[in-house]
Amino acid sequence: MSLPIQLISTDFDGTLFAEFENPPIPAHLLKLIGDLQAQGAKWVINTGRDMSSLMEAMARSHVTIKPDYLVLVEREIHRHHESQYVGLNDWNTECHRAHEELFVRVRRDMPRLVSWVNSRYDATVYEDAYSPFCLLAGNNGDADAIHDYMVEYCKEVPNLQVVRNDVYARFAHTNYNKGAALAEIGRRLEITHHHTFAAGDHLNDLPMLLPRYARFLAAPSNAIEAVKKVVRENDGFVSDLGQGHGIAEGLKFHLQKAVSS
């Protein structure tokens, strides 16, 4: 395959998807990705959402093409096969095992962590299928403060990290993130980082916005400054356009630059 970009990894919310736009995902971006798929490229939606939430949002967005892979909750990998998404059992099973082992320790400390949050902030802490500590903060200022505290707590527990997106956060294993999942997909497809494009807008996207995972990086205008900084420092493209419009511009920029170089 002679395409300079053979693997496309895009975050969903704030990168492809804009909740209050109509359509939420620009048709011209979907056409661009679809044209690249027709030439042999593979598309990954790399998101913090779970399967049901992502499928609902994609249906509302009238997505006319299918991602070849999904990375869900920043770590589980699913491949599109015969009209459905099938989990990669070896990766997902080991991912689940590693998290369950890690969370045995975290669950012992949950009363202390919950008490610290509840005594200081109007925030919701809850457990779901993916983490014993999930956070919904009242605002970004509170989320920043709680995030800092949880980062300090993570120093007590080997292999524990905080995964954050806006006012949401959860604990996860350091070996599993958007970058590691993207690298695993690339390994299976025999596509190196030299032919990989990655785009995101928030903190949980930073692990995949690294040159060792993707040569071609992009961020929309609505991305947080930490993301824009990393993308710029690694010769990526930061658009003046928001969400999917900015990602379409980034894809075109890198394709044109690769062809002319």
Q: Read off the pLDDT of residues 163-221 as tens digits, 9 standing for 90 and up.
A: 999 999 999 999 999 999 999 999 999 999 999 999 999 999 999 999 999 999 999 99
Long-range pairs of 249-255 with CB within 8 A, sequence gap ≥ 24: 249/218, 250/197, 250/199, 250/218, 250/219, 250/220, 251/5, 251/8, 251/29, 251/32, 251/33, 251/36, 251/197, 251/199, 251/218, 252/32, 253/218, 254/4, 254/5, 254/197, 254/216, 254/218, 255/4, 255/5
User: What pLDDT is recorded for position 65?
Assistant: 95
- Amino acid at site 234: N
Cβ(54)–Cβ(12) under 8 Å?
yes
- For 30-82, how does the pLDDT look when each residue is reduced to its tens digit (9 = 90+)? 999 999 999 999 999 999 999 999 999 999 998 989 999 999 999 999 999 99
175 or 261, greater pLDDT: 175
For the stretch 103-132, pLDDT in tens is 999 999 999 999 999 999 999 999 999 999
Q: Please, which pLDDT band fits residue 1 given cuts at 50, 70 and 90? A: low
